[in-house]
C-alpha cells in the first residue's frame, strides 16, 4: 500500500511516498481502508521537526474510512462500518490499523470527507469552546486565523452558543468566509495592529478569551486584547512557537490567565471523545455546523498540500484522498 513517510525532518522535500505491506490487524484491532486523510498544521510540525518524531515517521493523524477487517476480540464494530479518527499516526496512507477506541462510528448520512473534517479540527474547536473556556451567551472571543480549519469551526461554535466573535484574517476572501461562519467583525491583521482595534470594538473593555493558534506573531497583541481577568488560549504555532515570557506581565495586564492546551488531554477517554463526536455529528446533521472543505489532494500531491497550508493560501479543511 502507498503511504507518506519522512525519513528526516525538513521542508516538503522530505515527504516521500513509500510502498509498504498492508498492516496486519491484531486481535484487538481493526483494519481500515482510508477514504480521506486530514491535513493539519501538526503534520507540518512533525515533518519540520518543531515537534520531534522518531524517524522514519508515517505522517498524518486524522482520517475516515471503511472497516475491512476486525480482530477476534473486537466488539461493536464490524466490516463495512464507516469510522473516523482524530489521532492515529500514519494516516496519510491507503490502510491503517487502530484500536477501536481510537475511532468513532460515523452516523449514516455523513459522508467520509465531512466525517474526516470533523475530527481533529472539529474536536479541537469543541474542547476549546466547552472545556478550556466555556463560552456563555454574551461573551466576546477573539479568534485568530478565523478562516482556517479550526478558525471557521470556532466562529460557528462560539456564535451558536450566543458568543460574539472578532476574527483576524489575512485576505478579503478569508474575511468573507469568517463573516459567513458567524464572526461579527473581522480585522485584517496583515494590515493593521489588531489589539487597538479590538479595544475599539469592545468599547475599551477587551475580550473574555483569545483563541490563538497563530502563536509567535500574535501572542503579545493577544494579551493586550484581553479584558481584566481574561483568558489567553495559546493552542498553536502557525507563525512559530511562542518564546518564554515573564509571568509578571500577567498581573500588570489585569490578572490574566494563559493556558497551552492540546487535544490529546481533552479526548483522553473514549467516553470524552465520543461525547465530542456526538455533539459535532449532531450539529452537522441538523445543519448548524458546516465543515468547509478548502481543498482535496491525492497522496502524490502531499507536498503541495503542506506548501499551501504553510503559505497561508488555504481556508477550511484540506484532505488527502488516497
Ligand atoms: P489553519 O487552517 O488555521 O492554517 C493556519 C492559518 O494560520 C493560516 O491559514 C493563516 O491564516 C494563519 N497564519 C498566521 N500567520 C501564519 C504564518 N506565519 N504561517 C502560516 N500560517 C499563518 O490550520 P489548522 O486549522 O490546521 O490549525 C490552526 C492552529 O491550531 C495551528 O497552529 C495548529 O497547530 C493548532 N492546533 C492545535 C491543536 C491543539 O489541541 N493544541 C489541535 C489542532 C490544531 P491567515 O492567512 O488568515 O493569517
What is the CATH number for 185? Answer: 3.40.50.720
SS3 label, residue 229: strand
Ligand 1 pocket, residue 42 CB under 6 Å? yes
Q: 228 is written with which cell numbers?
A: 481584566
Mean pLDDT score across all residues of the chain: 97
At 259 the pLDDT is 98
Pocket test for ligand 1, best of 86, 145, 168, 191 (most atoms within 8 A of CB): 145
State percent of the chain over pLDDT 90.
100
Tell me how far apart the alpha carbons of residues 196 and 295 are, in angstroms, rounded to a whole number: 34
Give the pLDDT score at 254.
98
Q: Does ligand 1 lie within 6 Å of residue 274's CB atom?
A: no
Q: What is the pLDDT of residue 258?
A: 98
Pocket test for ligand 1, best of 147, 148, 295 (most atoms within 8 A of CB): 148
* Residue pLDDT, tens place only, 40-97: 999 999 999 999 999 999 999 999 999 999 999 999 999 999 999 999 999 999 999 9
Task: Report how far ligand 1's centroid is from the alpha carbon of 19 (Å).
Answer: 31
Give Cα separations from 142 to 184, 203, 205, 294 (angstroms): 11, 14, 13, 22
Q: What is the CATH number of the domain that holds 80?
A: 3.90.180.10
Determine how many CB atoms are found less than 10 A away from the CB of residue 293: 17
What's the pLDDT at 229?
98
For ligand 1, atom 47: residue with the closest CA:
169
Terminal C-alpha separation, the chain: 10
Whether 131 maps to a domain, the answer reads yes
194 inside domain: yes
Let me know if residue 271 belongs to a domain. Answer: no
Would you tell me the crossing angle of helices 172-180 and 149-160 to the nearest 10 degrees?
A: 30
Same domain, 11 and 106: yes
| Within-domain flag for 174 | yes
The number of folded domains in the chain is 2
Identify the pLDDT of residue 158.
98
* Predicted local distance difference test score (pLDDT) of residue 55: 96
DSSP string spanning 262-275?
-GGGGS-SHHHHHH
172 pLDDT tier (thresholds 50, 70, 90): very high
Which atom of ligand 1 is nearest the CA belonging to 235? 41
Residues 136 and 232 reside in one and the same domain: yes
Find the domain containing 16 and state its range: 2-118+291-320
Which residues have CB under 8 Å from 64's CB, separation 6+?
Answer: 34, 35, 36, 82, 83, 84, 85, 106, 112, 113, 115, 116, 119
Is any ligand 1 atom within 6 A of the Cβ of residue 85?
A: no
pLDDT number for residue 46 = 97
Q: In the prediction, which pLDDT does 315 show?
A: 96
pLDDT tens, position by position, 91-120:
999 999 999 999 999 999 999 999 999 999
Residue 299 DSSP label: G
Same domain, yes or no: 97 and 85? yes
Element spanning 179, H or E: helix 172-180
Q: Give one word for 109, left, alpha or beta, with left for phi > 0 and alpha for psi -120 to 50.
A: left
Shortest-distance Cα residue to atom 1 of ligand 1:
148
Cβ-contact 129, 122 below 8 angstroms: no
In a domain, 245, yes or no: yes
Amino acid at each position: 500500500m502507498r503511504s507518506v513517510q519522512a525519513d528526516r525532518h525538513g521542508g516538503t522535500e522530505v515527504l516521500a511516498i513509500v510502498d509498504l505491506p498492508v498492516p496486519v490487524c491484531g486481535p484487538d484491532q481493526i483494519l481500515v481502508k482510508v477514504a480521506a486523510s486530514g491535513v493539519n498544521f501538526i503534520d507540518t510540525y512533525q515533518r519540520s521537526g518543531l515537534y520531534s518524531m522518531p524517524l522514519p515517521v508515517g505522517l498524518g493523524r486524522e482520517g475516515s474510512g471503511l472497516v475491512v477487517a476486525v480482530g477476534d476480540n473486537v466488539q461493536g464494530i464490524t466490516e463495512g462500518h464507516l469510522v473516523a479518527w482524530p489521532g492515529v499516526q500514519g494516516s496519510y496512507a491507503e490502510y491503517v490499523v487502530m484500536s477501536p477506541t481510537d475511532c468513532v462510528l460515523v452516523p449514516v448520512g455523513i459522508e467520509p470527507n465531512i466525517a474526516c473534517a470533523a475530527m481533529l479540527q472539529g474536536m479541537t474547536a469543541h474542547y476549546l469552546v466547552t472545556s478550556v473556556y466555556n463560552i456563555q451567551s454574551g461573551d466576546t472571543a477573539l479568534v485568530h486565523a478565523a478562516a482556517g480549519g479550526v478558525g471557521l469551526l470556532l466562529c460557528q461554535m462560539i456564535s451558536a452558543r450566543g458568543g460574539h466573535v472578532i476574527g483576524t484574517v489575512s485576505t478579503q476572501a478569508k474575511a468573507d468566509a469568517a463573516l459567513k461562519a458567524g464572526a461579527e467583525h473581522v480585522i485584517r491583521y496583515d494590515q493593521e495592529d489588531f489589539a487597538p482595534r479590538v479595544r475599539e470594538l469592545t468599547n475599551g473593555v477587551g475580550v473574555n478569551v483569545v483563541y490563538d493558534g497563530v502563536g509567535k506573531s500574535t501572542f503579545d497583541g493577544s494579551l493586550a486584547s484581553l479584558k481584566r481577568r481574561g483568558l489567553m488560549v495559546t493552542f498553536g504555532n502557525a507563525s512559530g512557537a511562542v518564546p518564554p515570557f515573564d509571568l509578571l506581565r500577567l498581573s500588570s495586564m489585569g490578572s490574566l490567565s494563559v493556558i497551552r492546551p492540546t487535544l490529546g488531554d481533552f479526548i483522553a477517554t473514549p467516553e470524552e471523545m465520543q461525547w465530542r463526536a456526538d455533539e459535532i455529528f449532531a450539529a452537522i446533521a441538523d445543519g448548524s455546523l458546516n465543515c468547509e472543505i478548502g481543498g482535496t489532494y491525492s497522496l502524490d500531491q502531499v507536498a503541495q498540500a503542506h506548501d499551501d497550508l504553510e503559505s497561508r493560501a488555504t481556508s477550511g479543511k484540506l484532505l488527502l484522498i488516497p
